[in-house]
Homo-oligomer: A and B are copies of this chain.
Amino acid sequence: MPDDTDEGRQLEARLRSPLFTDLYELTMAQAYEAERMCGEAVFELTFRKMPEPRNYIVAAGIGDVLDFLTNFRFSASDLEFLGRRGGFSREFLTRLESLQFTGDVYAMPEGSIVFQNEPLVQIVAPIVEAQLVETFVLNQIHFQSLAAAKASRIVESAQGRTVVDFGSRRSHGTDAALKVARATYLAGGHGTSNVLAGKLYSIPVFGTLAHSYIQAHDDESAAFEAFATVYPGTTLLVDTYDTIEGVRKVIELKRRLGERFRVSAVRLDSGDLGSLAVESRRMFDEAGLMEIKIFASSGLDEYKVQNLVRSGAPIDGFGVGTNLAVMEDAPALDMAYKLVEYGGKGRLKLSSKKVLYPWRKQVFRQSENGHMIRDVVGRFDEPISGEPLLQPMLRRFEAPARIDVNESRKRLERELGRLPNQYRRLDKADTPYPVTFSDRLQCDLASLRSQFERVTR
């Protein structure tokens, strides 16, 4: 099963205008051109600080980046717009007309676990090209990686019970809704309520009915009967007026109609989900309806799911909406796209005590007895033991890597199995996962720094 259907790819490609960029990328590009700065640049995407309520992030979104880069073309109307806006020379606009992305992309494969200070995407290209793609690359990797990390926590807290993304209505726009749906599946969730996401990414779609359906009928029992007639074996929403009354009506209908009324589950969508689930379960079991499952939604997050699971609430699955969709507890990372090499020289940035390590890097993941113990960030070609995480995704004259959400899902599952338990828990681990910089990089940094200080002071 391919990750994205061809039609999905085509639809998304249309969204990937090269004008989805901060204006300064274009102004810088024109200046580079004017100065004949055509050297190769290395940019790395990294975040400095793990957000408080996270122990790990999940690399995601590289497929969109590869599609963007391989389709990077300014249209006539894009150039017309830039010309009309002003500030760009005819010469530069002509240059943009033929511009393509010719660089290499290395990245952690989708579904990899990533920590603070680790480059997760690395772009090696002529500086104009590498600069122009910054905004889109950041926008997609930042958001999708955060969403996959959030979804992973929810799936972990559900301990094997069903998790479905219900967040589309509260996501920040349509792109976010689609990517959260995909991220949920990547993270081991069962699927999404979003039909378009199902079509674009070939992931499972779930859903039955809302309160409005019940309300549109004059009587709740009549609504249940009508819906189960159209959809034998459906899930019924029982809390429109009173949850326990709703459960009672399901049992009555079952008694009265027998095989003509087939229901496989009910959904609780308000109130104290734990105690309502216990009471509903008891009522179904007493009525001999052990096969009817209980599905819960309404204001859930990973902590509430964990509490429900730990308390033994008889809930078989969770629909998670707003909190997953907007990632309320960690909606952003301090992720940045930093120039670390240009024209064969390592590049520094020193402002505000946030030191940027220069030079192109690699991340080496070291394990013991099947468990990750430490990551070392070194120079790209440094001989360091451990698994190198940055892999080629796009190289000139080669087809880009094909990203398959099912592969990514398996990778994350495998990686979580190797992650020490203290980082898999919802609570913050006592110490961050160890990520160190190699001696060589430390030395490179010190050396560049002292050179820089000699020059400027």
| Closest B residue, CB atoms, query A68 | B174
Map CB proximity to B onto A246-264 as digits: 1 under 8 Å, 0 otherwise: 0000000000000000000
| Interface residue? A292 (CB, 8 A) | no
Which residues of chain A (25-68) have a CB below 8 Å from chain B? Answer: 25-28, 30-32, 34-35, 37, 41, 43
| Closest B residue, CB atoms, query A212 | B339
| Interface residue? A382 (CB, 8 A) | no
Q: Across the interface, do B210 and A24 meet the contact criterion of CB distance under 8 Å?
A: yes
Map CB proximity to B onto A336-356 as digits: 1 under 8 Å, 0 otherwise: 011100110101111110100
Residues of B within 8 A of A34 (CB): 226, 229-230
Q: Across the interface, do A194 and B22 meet the contact criterion of CB distance under 8 Å?
A: yes
| Interface residue? A198 (CB, 8 A) | yes
| Interface residue? A366 (CB, 8 A) | no
Which residues of chain A (124-145) have a CB below 8 Å from chain B? Answer: 127, 131, 134-136, 138-140, 142-143
Most buried by B among A82, A147, A172, A175: A172
- Since A23-B206, A172-B172 are in contact, a sample of 18 more A-B pairs with Cβ atoms closer than 8 Å, ordered by chain A residue number, is A11-B17, A15-B15, A17-B196, A20-B168, A22-B168, A24-B193, A27-B231, A30-B230, A31-B213, A85-B205, A172-B173, A173-B175, A175-B176, A215-B348, A216-B347, A242-B350, A270-B351, A271-B352
Give Cα A423 to B34, complex, Å. 51
Residues of B within 8 A of A7 (CB): 77
| Interface residue? A318 (CB, 8 A) | no
Give Cα A325 to B213, complex, Å. 35
Residues of B within 8 A of A178 (CB): 173
Q: Which of B179, B219, B342 contacts A455 (CB 8 A)?
A: B219
Q: Across the interface, do B131 and A351 meet the contact criterion of CB distance under 8 Å?
A: no
Give Cα A431 to B216, complex, Å. 36
Which of A326-334, A396-404, A405-413 makes up part of the contact surface?
A326-334
Map CB proximity to B onto A176-207 as digits: 1 under 8 Å, 0 otherwise: 11110000000000000111101100000111
Q: Across the interface, do B11 and A14 meet the contact criterion of CB distance under 8 Å?
A: yes
Q: Across the interface, do A41 and B216 meet the contact criterion of CB distance under 8 Å?
A: yes
CB distance from A360 to the nearest CB of B (A): 14
Give Cα A456 to B35, complex, Å. 80
Residues of B within 8 A of A380 (CB): none
Q: Across the interface, do B240 and A349 meet the contact criterion of CB distance under 8 Å?
A: yes
Residues of B within 8 A of A240 (CB): 349-351
Most buried by B among A25, A37, A338: A25
Q: Across the interface, do B171 and A23 meet the contact criterion of CB distance under 8 Å?
A: no
Number of chain A interface residues as a range: 35 or more
| Interface residue? A21 (CB, 8 A) | yes
Q: Across the interface, do B269 and A351 meet the contact criterion of CB distance under 8 Å?
A: yes
CB distance from A100 to the nearest CB of B (A): 19
Residues of B within 8 A of A348 (CB): 215, 241
- Check A23/B269 contact, CB under 8 A, given A240-B349, A322-B332, A326-B331: no
Q: Across the interface, do B21 and A195 meet the contact criterion of CB distance under 8 Å?
A: yes
| Interface residue? A427 (CB, 8 A) | no
| Interface residue? A99 (CB, 8 A) | no
Q: Can you identify 11 A-B contacts, CB atoms within 8 angstroms?
A: A7-B77, A21-B196, A23-B194, A28-B209, A131-B212, A140-B173, A170-B335, A173-B173, A245-B456, A270-B354, A271-B351
- Check A226/B35 contact, CB under 8 A, given A194-B22, A271-B351: yes
Map CB proximity to B onto A435-454 as digits: 1 under 8 Å, 0 otherwise: 00000000000000000100
Q: Across the interface, do A85 and B198 meet the contact criterion of CB distance under 8 Å?
A: yes
Give Cα A348 to B31, complex, Å. 63
Q: Across the interface, do A242 and B23 meet the contact criterion of CB distance under 8 Å?
A: no
Which residues of chain A (259-283) have a CB below 8 Å from chain B? Answer: 269-271
